[in-house]
């Protein structure tokens, strides 16, 4: 279809309707209908698109196409809020919050700190009644996120329908837990995550295990021992905060050193297990130009799913996007594909 010709015809139609309407009736309806048709044409031609699947391994691609077909289907973002910033801002207020009953566990770290884990055991699982072999999904919330975030609750809900167990890793100093040491977390440090992985695996050594992360508070009394918190709290941008706080806490000479070390560009080459990454090209925090596409193509274990719209943890779809999002569907299909057909990833 020639969209330029269609647009020109619509313009001529609207002009004629306006002229008629000025001397008769129906101009309002004509304008509304004309605008609706034009908007629908623009949406279908420029907004609703199939995601770009980036993977150097043909076996991995075929695995995703067969067992996680959502990554090859057209993504139709919510027609009235498809723009990245709008999706990013609206998701926390629009999406529902499924009810989840957690079992909390506090574990100690080598430096005297503590980490809060929220378990969803799914003991009523019909597919995996044996808890010792029930697949376990470790969920990693984003910056300042906790087990109470709507996107985490939806991921647990998707896992529940599949019969899986979930455990949410709450970073130090958030989720209402006391900060015992003057240390929180940063994007480049994985010591706490490693401790959690070893702990969870030791509890269920016979259970299949995988992790899913989304995106990337402190308690001031403890932090004031090492930091000028008045200066830190004056930060007006993420970069200023990281310069005064995060990079200093973890011993980086400069903020640029921290950002370089935290960048996934340096780590993608060393990924040794199959990883699927979902990112929107209009993500306000991780925009398209910053996505390391070429680096990802150099590792057979990495696949990227890049949508044209979706914002940051948005991916809203449907007229009234209260429930499942595109991200939720990708998560559900990929987790199920790995647990139930993971041995076929590199053999198809």
Catalytic, 154? Answer no
Active-site residue (options: 215, 219, 261, 341): 215
Distance CA 331, CA 166 (A): 13
Quote the strand ranges of 204-326, DSSP E.
209-213, 275-280, 302-307
Residue with tokens 């719209």: 309
Examine the residue annotation and report whether 341 is marked as an active-site residue of this protein: no
* Separation between Cα atoms, residue 180 and residue 271, nearest integer Å: 32
Widest pairwise Cα distance in the chain = 81
**If we measure between CA atoms, which residue out of 133, 155, 260 comes closest to residue 213?**
155
Catalytic residue among 159, 280, 312, 328: 312
Sheet holding 209-213, edge to edge: 103-108, 114-120, 165-170, 136-140, 209-213
Q: Name the catalytic one among 118, 192, 242, 283.
A: 283
DSSP H helices, the chain, are 3-23, 27-42, 58-67, 84-94, 150-162, 191-203, 220-223, 229-232, 238-241, 247-249, 255-262, 293-296, 326-341
276 Ramachandran zone, left/alpha/beta (phi>0; psi -120 to 50): beta
Residue 228 annotated among the catalytic residues of the structure: no
Residue with the two structure tokens 């340096």: 266
Cα distance between residue 49 and residue 161, in whole Å: 28
Report the distance separating Cα 28 and Cα 26, nearest Å: 5
Cα separation of 168 and 162, whole Å?
Answer: 17
The set of catalytic residues is 215, 283, 312
């Amino acid at each position: 279809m020639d969209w330029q010709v269609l647009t020109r015809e619509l313009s001529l139609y609207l002009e004629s309707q306006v002229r008629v309407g000025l001397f008769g009736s129906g101009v309002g309806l004509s304008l509304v209908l004309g605008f609706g048709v034009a908007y629908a044409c623009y949406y279908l031609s420029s907004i609703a698109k199939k995601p770009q699947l980036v993977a150097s391994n043909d076996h991995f691609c075929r695995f995703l196409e067969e067992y996680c077909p959502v990554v090859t289907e057209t993504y139709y973002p919510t027609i009235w809020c498809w723009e990245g910033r709008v999706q990013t801002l609206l998701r926390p207020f629009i999406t529902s919050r499924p009810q989840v009953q957690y079992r909390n566990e506090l574990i100690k770290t080598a430096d005297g700190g503590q980490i809060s884990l929220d378990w969803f055991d799914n003991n009523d699982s019909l597919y995996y009644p044996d808890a010792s072999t029930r697949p376990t999904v470790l969920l990693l919330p984003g910056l300042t996120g906790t087990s109470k975030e709507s996107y985490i609750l939806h991921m647990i809900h998707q896992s529940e329908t599949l019969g899986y167990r979930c455990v949410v890793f709450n970073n130090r100093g958030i989720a209402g837990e006391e900060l015992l040491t003057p240390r929180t977390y940063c994007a480049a440090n994985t010591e706490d995550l490693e401790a959690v992985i070893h702990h969870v695996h030791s509890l269920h050594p016979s259970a299949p295990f995988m992790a899913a992360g989304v995106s990337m508070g402190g308690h001031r009394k403890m932090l004031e021992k090492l930091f000028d918190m008045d200066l830190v709290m004056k930060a007006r941008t993420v970069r200023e905060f990281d310069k005064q706080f995060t990079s200093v806490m973890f011993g980086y000479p400069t903020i640029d050193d921290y950002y370089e070390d935290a960048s996934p560009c340096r780590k993608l080459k060393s990924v040794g297990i199959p990883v699927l990454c979902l990112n929107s090209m209009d993500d306000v925090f991780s925009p398209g130009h910053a996505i390391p596409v070429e680096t990802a193509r150099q590792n057979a274990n990495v696949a990227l799913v890049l949508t044209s719209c979706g914002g940051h943890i948005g991916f809203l779809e449907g007229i009234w996007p209260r429930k499942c999002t595109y991200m939720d569907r990708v998560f559900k299909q990929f987790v199920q594909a790995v647990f139930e057909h993971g041995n076929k990833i590199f053999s198809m």
